[in-house]
Amino acid sequence: MYYDQKNECLDKVAKKKLQSERLIDVVNRVYEAVPPYRAKMDKANIKPSDIKSIDDIVKLPFTTKQDLRDNYPFGMLATNKEDIVRLHASSGTTGKLTVVGYTKSDIDIWSACCARGLVAAGANTSSTLHVAYGYGLFTGGLGLHYGGELLGLTVVPVSAGNTPRQLTLLVDFAADGICCTPSYAVYLADELIKAGYTAKDLNLKWGIFGAEPWSEEMRKEIEEKLGIKAYDIYGLSEISGPGVASECEYQIGSHIWDDHFYPEVIDVDTLKPLPYGERGELVFTTLTKEGMPLIRYRTRDITALDDSPCPCGRTGLRLKRIKGRSDDMLIIRGVNVFPSQVESALIASDERISSHYHITVDRVNNLDVMEIAIELKADAKFDEIKEIEELVSKVKSDISSAIGVSASVKLVSYGSVKRSEGKAQRVTDKRSL
Amino acid sequence: MLVNQIAVFLENRSGRIAEFSKVLANANINIRAMSIADTEEYGILRAITDDNVAAIKTLKENGFNASSTDLIGFNVDDKPGEMFKVLDILEKAKINIGYLYSFAGTKKSNAIILIKVDDNESTAAILEKNGINLMGSDLPI
């Protein structure tokens, strides 16, 4: 099942032609209307006329989050302010917001892309979608909401938080689909059991999870606990929001809707594009956006592209799982460590280990130390101290072989790692560098 | 013939045992025997209560990792050499004891010893054959 079969399954030649036309158009638009882009291109000695096909994209300068901050709030808009129908914003670590302006057409395309992902996950017009992403300046809630409505689903805009009410609505409204962050899905599943329900009390069949990196092991956990199929969705507000890429029934990477969002993966050091399959930083060019088109925007997400054919027939390049972000990457004693690697290693390590963990990094005597507090599953049993010690040493060795650096491991009782109702806060870095 | 106990995983931090006893107190569950094994970072609290099933349920609901185990319990006279007599039987039968705890009985003249072994059935048979008075599931305390 497709939402837009023609555009989701474009053959190579047709797609390249479409991408080329759209790239030429967007480069002309930003050069004319966005002074920071004109300045960047002039500085790089590139004119719009130098861009003749999608292959020429490599000639164009990159855009970074800093460019958006420097031109806060409206300096990157390519249309008149009156054509903007909505503003979203995301908070940055430095305090200044990153603002994104959408025209009516931008909202329509974004909604259609979300609708593609919903259909790929199993939604149909009789579906009810429980949207537990936050609504507001964050794009998660409204993105899936509009996609669901465009598709004709019954949308429940419950937003994030108030878990007891979420459970009641899931049972009473019998939603077959849910979307939220993957860490909240696990939390919700655990709370469901605590509240005396089982997965059988729900009508859920599928879920779309994103806005933070997660692992295959976590997918299994969500699928088992909620009795659903769990699909990855990728997006970022700068590019539009959720629904830049979505998984299909084969769950082998998220199809990028690359008729609208053109992906590249670059080497973080040389900034040169990498061949398909190689891991690097994901870069997007918005081919059709009007309000705030971005050229070669550096997402900071670390992943690889997969161009192998997918049995579903969609031709969008697939994103491999996000390994983490180049800017939340931890450097421990010189080794790059992504929390998602730690997560995969610990869940795979032992069945008594849950997916809830917290990493604390500190510097003691000029040496980086990493401590991982790992929560036990509710049914984990221990009768003798040696069983605890054996588990700690097993998890420790599994983690150190997975991430290449040793960490101290502390097991904690079920329920004692702080839960988040939005993006999980999994790292505390106490080092002052 | 076996004595059921609960075993609770604890992080070794202040207040954790108090939380444990509060949870049981709130559920009106009485602790009848208790022992703690600990290391610098962790502990296992073992206890026998008047309702182990309810104790495990309420502990789990309150964020404790709790489970139950069956132990062999026996009565000995409360006088020197009685414990050795039993341990000597086990030693000669090459039965390894995982852990052991004991407490004085109610009658002043007896004591109760609980042991964890790998094979309850064969251990019980050996002890019984040697005339040791094994306890039933209900503690006489």
Residue A376: list chain B partners with CB under 8 A.
9, 65
**What is the DSSP secondary-structure string of A260-296?**
TEEEEEE-TTT-PBPPTT--EEEEEEESS-SSS--SS
d(CA A267, CA A337): 17
Question: Measured between alpha carbons, how far is residue A103 from residues A106, A114, A149, A293, A424 in Å?
Answer: 5, 17, 18, 11, 31
Both tokens assigned to B100: 């052991």
Task: Kindly determine whether residue B9 and residue A384, on different chains, have CB atoms separated by under 8 Å.
Answer: no
In the beta sheet, which residues pair with residue A15?
A: none
Q: Find tokens 């039968």 and name the residue.
A: B93
Question: Measured between alpha carbons, how far is residue A45 from residues A61, A119, A326 in Å?
Answer: 10, 44, 29
Q: What backbone torsions phi and psi does residue A430 show, to the nearest 5 degrees? A: -90, 0
Same domain (yes/no): B79, B62:
no
Q: Which of B65, B96, B114 to mutate to test the interface with A (most CBs of A within 10 A)?
A: B65
Task: Kindly determine whether residue A385 and residue B38, on different chains, have CB atoms separated by under 8 Å.
Answer: yes
Same domain (yes/no): B110, B127:
yes
Task: Kindly determine whether residue A410 and residue B98, on different chains, have CB atoms separated by under 8 Å.
Answer: no
The size of the A-B interface in CB pairs under 8 A is: 58
The number of folded domains in chain B is 2
Same domain (yes/no): B90, B113:
yes
pLDDT band for position B133 (cuts 50, 70, 90): confident
For A382, the closest of B7, B38, B39 (CB atoms) is: B7
Same domain (yes/no): B119, B78:
yes
For A384, the closest of B44, B60, B64 (CB atoms) is: B44
Does B18 fall in a domain?
yes
Same domain (yes/no): B49, B93:
no
Task: Kindly determine whether residue A414 and residue B64, on different chains, have CB atoms separated by under 8 Å.
Answer: yes
Same domain (yes/no): B81, B44:
no
Does B141 fall in a domain?
no
Distance from CA of B19 to the nearest CA of A (A): 13
Distance from CA of A399 to the nearest CA of B (A): 19
Q: Which of B6, B8, B9 to mutate to test the interface with A (most CBs of A within 10 A)?
A: B9
Does B140 fall in a domain?
no
Q: Does B82 touch chain A (CB under 8 A)?
A: no
Same domain (yes/no): B11, B53:
yes
Both tokens assigned to B23: 């949870």
Does B111 fall in a domain?
yes
Q: Which of A382, A386, A387, A409 to mutate to test the interface with B (most CBs of B within 10 A)?
A: A382
Domains and CATH numbers, chain A: 1-325 (3.40.50.12780), 330-429 (3.30.300.30)
Same domain (yes/no): B54, B93:
no
Distance from CA of A195 to the nearest CA of B (A): 10
Residue A415: list chain B partners with CB under 8 A.
63
For B37, the closest of A385, A410, A415 (CB atoms) is: A385
Same domain (yes/no): B125, B76:
yes
d(CA B38, CA B45): 8
Does B139 fall in a domain?
no
Q: Which of B45, B67, B89 is the last residue of a domain?
A: B67
Same domain (yes/no): B63, B75:
no
* CA end-to-end span of chain B: 16
d(CA A69, CA A96): 7
Q: Which of B67, B85, B109 is the last residue of a domain?
A: B67
Look up the CATH number of the domain holding residue B90.
3.30.70.260
Same domain (yes/no): B25, B77:
no
Does B75 fall in a domain?
yes
Domain containing residue B8: 2-67
Same domain (yes/no): B62, B78:
no
Q: Which of B43, B67, B91 is the last residue of a domain?
A: B67
Question: Measured between alpha carbons, how far is residue A175 from residues A2, A129, A200, A280 in Å?
Answer: 21, 6, 13, 38
Look up the CATH number of the domain holding residue B28.
3.30.2130.10
Is pLDDT at B103 greater than 70 in this prediction?
A: yes
* Residue-by-residue pLDDT tens, chain A, 433 positions: 999 999 999 999 999 999 999 999 999 999 999 999 999 999 999 999 999 999 999 999 999 988 998 999 999 999 999 999 999 998 654 457 889 999 999 999 999 999 999 999 999 999 999 999 999 998 999 999 999 999 999 999 999 889 999 999 999 999 999 999 888 898 899 899 989 999 999 999 999 999 877 888 889 999 999 999 999 999 999 999 999 999 999 999 999 999 999 999 999 889 999 999 999 999 999 999 999 999 999 998 889 999 999 999 999 999 998 877 777 778 787 777 888 888 888 888 999 999 899 999 998 877 788 999 999 999 999 999 999 999 999 999 999 988 888 899 999 999 889 887 776 788 898 886 5
Does B15 fall in a domain?
yes
Task: Kindly determine whether residue B38 and residue A388, on different chains, have CB atoms separated by under 8 Å.
Answer: no
